[in-house]
Amino acid sequence: MKKSILIITVACTVLAAGCAGTANRLTNAEIAEGWELLFDGTSLDQWRLYNSEGTGSWGIDDGCLAADGTGSDSTGYIVTRKEYANFDLVFDWKVAPEGNSGVMYHVVESDRFHTPYLTGPEYQLIDDINWPGELEEWQKTGADYAMYLPDPEKKKLNPAGEWNNSRILFDNGHVEYWLNGEKIVEFEAWTPEWFELKNSGKWAGAPEYGLAATGLISLQDHGSKAWFKNMKIRELPKKETEPVNLFNGVDLTGWTAYGTEKWYVEDSLLVCESGPDRQYGYLATDRYYKDFDLSVDFRQISDGNSGVFFRSVIEGTRISGWQVEVAPKDHDTGGIYESYGRGWLKQIPDEKENILKPGEWNTLRIIAVGPDVTTWLNGEEMVHLNDPKIGRANGRIALQIHDGGGIKVQWKNLVIQPL
């Protein structure tokens, strides 16, 4: 027993050493190339708890950014204060024997998500050799957790207590994971293969997992000690993209229906119609769009109480977020409504109610950039809103069927320009 205690004490001493000195610095060449440190060895100013302030179980240990091992599956996550879209992230790390940690990215912060892994893909970090239970390959170090497996021929992992070097490259959907100088994982995000993996495995019950193209970086204290140093990141440019047709005129590819109401294609038009349950229904994009310029044509066949949600997320069969109203005349088409909490954020002026053309085709346009949202109806500006809560959000575009029954609306020319 005494011998075991001595071995563990020595191991912990070795683990805690080695972060001070020349670590956590950038060369002049790195600075010129656009690299920035996420941790300078002396301060946690760039980090805070997920959905909160402070740093919880994270602190500084001999110049390392360190987890003290008191976290759990639902606690112990810190996130960067800044969001990143396309980036090259490099870091050194080590875990204690039987240790478990991870680095997540494109994390969406919201009171709708209690942990970062519900939205952010994870570069897994774990003690492959000494883990007390059996590990699946998708749970081992270097895996894109529960998605893509590392190449066993190229994976060279140093044991717990020794430093490893890792890299995450995310370049406009192209993803690479590196370990100790070798590329061990490579894939393209949001392809049909990616969605098949997402929807058939662990993440089948996590509808918002991996959809964001921008978000926070997160480190995990999963109940064991972990150390990080030399954590640096370089932002990569966003590629210019052409406008995207969200509806192909043939089927609902790229969309998912939630609820029991009717969504179908007829005469090259997208149709929403109340079903026998007369409840709310939603048709949401399979992708997130944070900043965008969206235009869509709609025609209200009957009733017409509908809307276009943006930066919104799925909760069961309901959508939470912000809606640009589509409604019968004199009911604020073009106004902005929050579906939880605050209700109407901006209704249209009464004198603009006559801009809607009932029973005819109308064009709705929405531009969202950061906290600023502006709407137009048939070329006329309806409302402008600056809202910090909207500015922090990310999520899907979705069409709505209101409850009550009797609703039928046709849609076409759903075109979005990501900004």
Domains along the sequence of the chain with CATH: 2-235 (2.60.120.560), 244-418 (2.60.120.560)
Please tell me the predicted confidence (pLDDT) of residue 2. 33
- Residue 402 CB partners (closer than 8 Å, separation 6+): 280, 303, 305, 306, 307
Contact 78, 59 (CB under 8 A): no
Quote the distance between the C-alpha of residue 188 and its chain's center: 16
Burial grade of 372 (CB within 10 A; 0-12, 13-18, 19 or more): middle
pLDDT-derived band of residue 304, with 50, 70 and 90 as boundaries?
confident
Quote the distance between the C-alpha of residue 224 and its chain's center: 26
Tokens coding 315 = 């909760």
Contact 304, 417 (CB under 8 A): no
Closest C-alpha among 206, 212, 227, 245 to residue 394: 212
Digit-coded pLDDT (tens) for 247-282: 999 999 999 999 999 999 999 999 999 999 999 999
Closest C-alpha among 124, 167, 169 to residue 147: 124
Digit-coded pLDDT (tens) for 188-226: 999 999 999 999 999 999 999 999 999 999 999 999 999
Contact 23, 230 (CB under 8 A): yes
Distance between CA atoms of 235 and 233, rounded to whole angstroms?
7
Please tell me the predicted confidence (pLDDT) of residue 18. 57
Contact 280, 401 (CB under 8 A): yes
CA torsion, ordered 252, 319, 371, 393, to nearest 10 deg: -100
Tokens coding 370 = 């950061």
Digit-coded pLDDT (tens) for 114-137: 999 999 999 999 999 999 999 999
Digit-coded pLDDT (tens) for 149-192: 999 999 999 999 999 999 999 999 999 999 999 999 999 999 99
**Tally of CB atoms within 10 A around 373:** 23
What is residue 27's DSSP assignment?
-
Q: Tell me which H or E stretch contains 196.
A: helix 192-200
Nearest-5° Cα angle at 338, 81 to 257: 95
